[in-house]
Structure 1
Amino acid sequence: MPPGKSDDRGATPSPDLIRFVEAYLSARELAWEEIAGEGSGRLFYRIKGKGKSWVAMVSSHPPKDKRGVTENDSFLYIGQHLRGKGVPVPEIYHHNIERGWFLMEDLGDCHLQTEIMSIKGNQRQLIETYQRVVDCLVLIQVEGRKGFDLARTHNAPYDQGFMLAWESGYFHFAFLADYLGLDIPDEELRDEMEDLARQAAQALGGYFLYRDFQSRNIMVWEGGLGLLDFQGGRLGPLQYDLASLLLDPYVELDAGVQEELLAYYLGRIQDRVKLDPKGFQEQYPLVALHRNMQILGAFAFLIKARGLEFFRPYIPLALKSLRTILQDKCFNPYKKLRKVVFEEIKGI
């Protein structure tokens, strides 16, 4: 592929990036193909040559925290940390943190979503496929927490304040206000949102939390699984990533499948961790609610702020899931939130 623009954010790779890859691989005349990054602000390229393939990621302007630790620092640290624990994330062969360049293992292009949609008529095969994913999740949660140093990432702790800002708050301002145009004052829902976050924060934490563990970040390749988009990892409650997987609007698992997989998960996690299954299940709807609100906030932001129409068809599915969660009797006292979700949101 001929050299492209010098701007790493362009659709074609910059000459500097091409030289960076060619020097490491000791190869020229490589074929470069851009890969869609969906909701990410990063660029991805599949590179082919010598009968092999690799993926290059470009993240030129990563978010950073007040200390100057960037998302690129998080990506490198978490990727190496998880791989060291036996988690099937791509191997990072070569990187330049300052330029935001990463050359990685190619995990193919078959998302779990694609796999599941092709076998939805075969419930037993679907369950068995998800059981493999749940086994991987348990490994991530239990092994991933060992030796994990949040200070080496730009990620904030998963706590009550984070939930209020980036889950229920995201839902309120990005989805209800910006996407739907509903004029709901902050103070109208504040008390209920604060109480819900307080209760969810009581779920047993301290486990590795992937935070976006869903079917488009899970690849099926070479008979196994591969995981993408792990840079948001931190520590948190066990229920969160399970909810991410089971409530995933990209595949819309029915209630019976969700219940069977939750039961399977409880059996597998109790092989590794002592926990109270009844308490876990009581906390699950509270944590799942926050994950579901985060999904709607994120989809709304990506559609409205970034013009990514890919996510629009999944809004009704995520809203349906939210309404199902809110039918749990534990949410009966939250009359204002229920009124908004069941009565004021219309036309979806």
Structure 2
Amino acid sequence: MPAPSGAHDVELYQWACHHAGAEPTRWQTVPGDAGMRRYHRLHFDTQTRVLMDARAEPGSCAPFAHVAALLRASGVRVPAVLAWESARGWMLLEDLGEQSYLDALRTESADPLIRAALDTLIRWQADSRPGVLPTYDRARLTAELALFPDWYVTHHLGRTLTPGQQKQWDDLACMLVEAALAQPRVFVHRDFMVRNLLVTRPGPGVIDFQDAVEGPVTYDVVSLLRD
């Protein structure tokens, strides 16, 4: 297929071709995550690669590579980083496939998939150690809980909490933060949900892990089972 248009995309395309050692026969834009990152699947004659374009948040490349190394050291299947340019936010990655757990659960039994995911999570948590990842501390937990009234209630629902409702929410949020801080602390993916797990063998492929932190032991389990 022809190279993409636009100065940035042309440079990105040329960079990817250089590091892949060939020009792709197909350039496919794939759904991304909730951040500002864009993803493309590059099809070659005998293989595929995933190209991450994080031009809006180039600082995510180094955390991605760091957490990928931690996960891989624990025996977790993650995309290999084949090339990256931190200043521009570009990464060329191994392609672990297109079938997510979210897709697979529509036709397959949940038990073996969820068990494999939990085994993977336990393996990574067992290797947890302090001082390696950012801390999921009180300030960060409080800020993220504030997204509920600020974004969901106000912007999504178009509603405003009454003073009484706001007080109820503040009390509940305080209780949730205290409960989270009281738990044992482990490595936390933060988005360990079925859309970020890929069907691979022997265990799931894990993606979108660059925002990992050290935090409450139940966080990822709840994300997997409830999100």
Normalization by structure 1: what TM-score?
0.60
Output the CA distance in 1 between the equivalents of 2:131 and 2:95: 25
Contact 2:61 2:91 in 1 (8 A): no
1:34 aligns with 2:29: yes
**Which consecutive residues of structure 1, in runs of 5 or more, have no partner in the other structure?**
9-13, 64-69, 120-124, 249-348
Choose which of 75, 80, 95 in structure 2 pairs with 1:91. Answer: 80
Output the CA distance in 2 between the equivalents of 1:71 and 1:228: 13
State the secondary structure of the residue aligned to 2:183.
coil
Contact 1:81 1:148 in 2 (8 A): no
Shift of 1:160: 2.4
1:293-308 equivalences under 5 Å are: none
Change (3 A) 1:26 1:208: same
Choose which of 49, 53, 66 in structure 2 pairs with 1:54. Answer: 49
Shift of 1:79: 1.5
Choose which of 126, 130, 136 in structure 1 pairs with 2:110. Answer: 126
1:111 aligns with 2:100: yes
Partner of 1:280: none
Partner of 1:213: 192
Output the CA distance in 2 between the equivalents of 1:192 and 1:221: 39
Partner of 1:202: 182
Contact 2:189 2:220 in 1 (8 A): yes
Shift of 1:222: 4.7
1:1-348 equivalences under 5 Å are: 1-8=1-8, 14-62=9-57, 70-119=59-108, 125-143=109-127, 145-146=128-129, 149-150=132-133, 157-167=135-145, 169-184=146-161, 185=163, 186-187=166-167, 189-205=169-185, 207-222=186-201, 224-248=203-227
Output the CA distance in 2 between the equivalents of 1:93 and 1:107: 13
Contact 1:214 1:244 in 2 (8 A): yes
Change (3 A) 1:191 1:223: closer
Where is the strand percentage greater, Structure 1 or Structure 2?
Answer: 2
Change (3 A) 1:183 1:93: same
Shift of 1:72: 2.2
Output the CA distance in 1 between the equivalents of 2:177 and 2:57: 28
Shift of 1:93: 0.6
Q: Which has the larger radius of gyration?
A: 1
Contact 2:4 2:13 in 1 (8 A): no
Output the CA distance in 2 between the equivalents of 1:128 and 1:188: 40
Shift of 1:87: 1.2
CA offsets, 1:132-155, max 9 Å, x none?
A: 111011012122x247622xxxx5
Normalization by structure 2: what TM-score?
0.90
| Aligned residue pair count | 224
Letter of the structure 2 residue corresponding to residue 2 of structure 1: P
**Which consecutive residues of structure 2, in runs of 5 or more, have no partner in the other structure?**
none
Contact 1:58 1:100 in 2 (8 A): yes
Letter of the structure 2 residue corresponding to residue 58 of structure 1: D
State the secondary structure of the residue aligned to 1:216.
helix
State the secondary structure of the residue aligned to 1:33.
strand
Letter of the structure 2 residue corresponding to residue 179 of structure 1: H
Output the CA distance in 1 between the equivalents of 2:48 and 2:106: 26
Letter of the structure 1 residue corresponding to residue 6 of structure 2: S
With a CA cutoff of 8 Å and minimum separation of 6, indicate the structure with the bigger relative contact order. 2
CA offsets, 1:281-300, max 9 Å, x none?
A: xxxxxxxxxxxxxxxxxxxx
Output the CA distance in 2 between the equivalents of 1:29 and 1:193: 49
Output the CA distance in 1 between the equivalents of 2:218 and 2:130: 21
CA-atom RMSD, angstroms? 2.0
Output the CA distance in 1 between the equivalents of 2:73 and 2:7: 34
Contact 2:24 2:43 in 1 (8 A): no
Query: Runs in 1 of length 4+ with deviation above 6 angstroms?
Result: none
Q: Kindly, what percent of the aligned residue pairs are identical?
A: 27
